[in-house]
Amino acid sequence: MLVEKTEILDKAERYIELMQGKVNPQYRQQYHLMPPVGWMNDPNGFVYFKGYYHLFYQFHPYDSKWGPMHWGHARSLDLVHWEQLPTALAPDEDYDQEGCFSGSAIEKDGKLFLIYTGCQEVAGVMHQHQCVAMSEDGLHFTKFSANPVVAENELGSAGLISEFRDPKVLYHNDHYYMVVATKTPDSRGRILMFVSDDLLTWQFNSILLEGNQKQGIMWECPDLFHLDGKDVLILSPIQIQKNGLEYFNTSSTMACIGAVDWQTGKMQVDNFHEIDFGMDFYAPQTTTDPTGRRIMVAWMQMWDRTFPTHDLGHGWAGSMTLPRELRVKNNRLLQKPISLVYGQLEYQQGLENIALSETPTVFRKALKAADYIHLVADLSEANYFSLDLLRSKNQALNLNYDVKEELFHVDRHNFGREILGSEIEPVNDRKVKVPLIDGQLVLEIFRDTSSLEVFINGLEVITATFYETEKGEDIAFTADGNSRILAFETATIKNN
């Protein structure tokens, strides 16, 4: 017999209160959302509700590794500073006793609805089915008495009940639609779509899209939205095959840009491409702000890797990316830092017109407290450009650009604590092809205690975590040709 729901949630809250003061702060982030204790992975239920941005997340409070999933919960006024709230969901019913897996949130009639995957073992088979919880205030949630709302009957032969998860709900043409991940019998990713008038009674609608043998064995965390005249489906393929410089992680992220035929429920895709070229970016989810801008956040970590904060016994693991504003241009998904962040910056220094050479130009203590770096370099006559961040006596995090090949490269080899992974290729460096714009390289870099997000010429992003073993505060530039830094400024993010 299961323990009463309130007891399980209260137990989690008591444990969090007891343990959060015992978490080792060495690698704790300053302005990225983290769990108060324990383990965090996928963002869930990203939504704007009653004046706040709410972000839920996959959460195991009792250990810094994956375990029975709860839904952690935080809210923010500015998408930069987050307030931790009580745990929203716990595995406290028969239908979700093996975990409350990922899902989404939507407002209806002034109430907040959470739609999530409940996991239950039935006769030795894991059943993943979709469930609903509701709230009047966005803080306290009651699970629907008739859960699950989408299960074997609604799924039918369209997918596998053991691999059927991560519902994202949207409103279109006076109906609610739910996109859900599953897989084909021969292990290809497949996204299903269900339809409802009230969020509580659902019917199968269509197979929205499915992948080929090269596009992974399972597609997780689908998110469907319309932006700039295009329909966009973002998802997270497992074991997708490498394609040029794309999909070097065991688990990757992909944007599908095209058009949905709402009569047939099918999607025609014009372009597939990776969303972020870094080592640590997974399970992105989006919402809209009150002005209609599309905002995305992702788990800033990766599966099948070592987690230094867990291995060191620090009592926590995982964080979220800085939220990003999205646009579609030329059938590609473009990202830029959330505009609200700029109002939170306090600029430290600004330099202009710095001549570079093959001898490093070093700025001492330039990153002592810097959270943000803005850099514009004229490389019109150069062959290469190199930037050492967090430079100490023996180590540096290297960013470099090959002008001829148009390749931007982030390299964390021999920097900080070693991170290992299941990939055949090295897990500590990534490259992306980005052309110069009028001969210039423009970088916006958000650096936190243990993460780096690099926005490159407004076209591509590389996200990476790191764990320093030597405190590095210097920055060094190297380039050939008649290269110059036209603008270089650093800033810190204001405290709450």
pLDDT the model gives residue 5: 61
With 0-12 CB in 10 A as exposed, 13-18 as middle and 19+ as buried, what is 145? exposed
Q: What is the DSSP-derived secondary structure letter of residue 200?
A: S
Q: What is the arithmetic mean of pLDDT over 423-449?
A: 95
**Residue 1 pLDDT exceeds 70:** no
Confidence of residue 368 (pLDDT cuts 50, 70, 90): confident
Q: What is the arithmetic mean of pLDDT over 381-404?
A: 97
With 0-12 CB in 10 A as exposed, 13-18 as middle and 19+ as buried, what is 16? buried
Residue 254's alpha-carbon distances to 117, 189, 276, in angstroms, are 22, 12, 8
How many angstroms separate the CA atoms of 233 and 228, rounded? 13
Q: What percent of the chain has pLDDT over 90?
A: 95
**Residue 440 pLDDT exceeds 70:** yes
Q: What is the arithmetic mean of pLDDT over 212-219?
A: 97
Query: The CATH number of 5-337 is which of 2.115.10.20, 1.20.140.10, 1.20.1250.20, 3.20.20.70?
Result: 2.115.10.20
pLDDT tens digits for range 120-174: 999 999 999 999 999 999 999 999 999 999 999 999 999 999 999 999 999 999 9
How many angstroms separate the CA atoms of 206 and 154, rounded? 11
Report residue 241 as tokens.
């095959």
How is 136-197 classified by DSSP, letter by letter?
Answer: SSSSS-EE-TT--SBSHHHHTTSSBTTB-EEEEEEEETTEEEEEEEEE-TTS-EEEEEEEES
pLDDT tens digits for range 243-255: 999 999 999 999 9
Residue 94 one-letter amino acid: D
Residue whose token pair is 């709410």: 54
Q: Are 230 and 257 in contact (CB under 8 A)?
A: yes
Q: What is the largest CA-CA distance in the chain?
A: 74
pLDDT the model gives residue 349: 83
pLDDT the model gives residue 168: 98
Active site residues: 42
Q: Identify the sign of the CA torsion 11, 12, 15, 17.
A: negative
Q: How many CA atoms lie within 13 A of 80 on its CB side?
A: 18
CATH fold of the domain at 341-493: Jelly Rolls (2.60.120)
Q: What is the DSSP-derived secondary structure letter of residue 252?
A: -
**Residue 373 pLDDT exceeds 50:** yes
How many angstroms separate the CA atoms of 285 and 295, rounded? 8
Residue 130 one-letter amino acid: Q
Smallest CA-to-CA distance from 82 within 54, 110, 122, 117 is with 54
Smallest CA-to-CA distance from 286 within 247, 255, 249, 246 is with 255
Convert 26-63 to b/e letters by CB count within 10 Å (16 or more is b). Answer: ebbeebbbbbbbbbbbbbbbbbbbeeebbbbbbbbbbe
Confidence of residue 496 (pLDDT cuts 50, 70, 90): low
Residue 325's alpha-carbon distances to 108, 295, 297, 339, in angstroms, are 24, 5, 9, 8
Q: What is the arithmetic mean of pLDDT over 41-60?
A: 98
pLDDT the model gives residue 424: 79
Query: Kind of pairing, strands 38-49 and 316-317?
Result: parallel
Q: How many CA atoms lie within 13 A of 132 on its CB side?
A: 23
How many angstroms separate the CA atoms of 146 and 148, rounded? 6
pTM: 0.97
Report residue 445 as tokens.
């870099």
Confidence of residue 379 (pLDDT cuts 50, 70, 90): very high
pLDDT tens digits for range 272-297: 999 999 999 999 999 999 999 999 99
**Residue 2 pLDDT exceeds 60:** no
Q: Are 410 and 297 in contact (CB under 8 A)?
A: no
- Residue extents of the structural domains in the chain: 5-337, 341-493
How many angstroms separate the CA atoms of 59 and 65, rounded? 10
Bridge partners (DSSP) of residue 361 are 477
- Cβ atoms within 10 Å of 190's Cβ, excluding its own: 23
Task: Specify the 3-state DSSP secondary structure of 180.
Answer: strand
pLDDT the model gives residue 7: 87
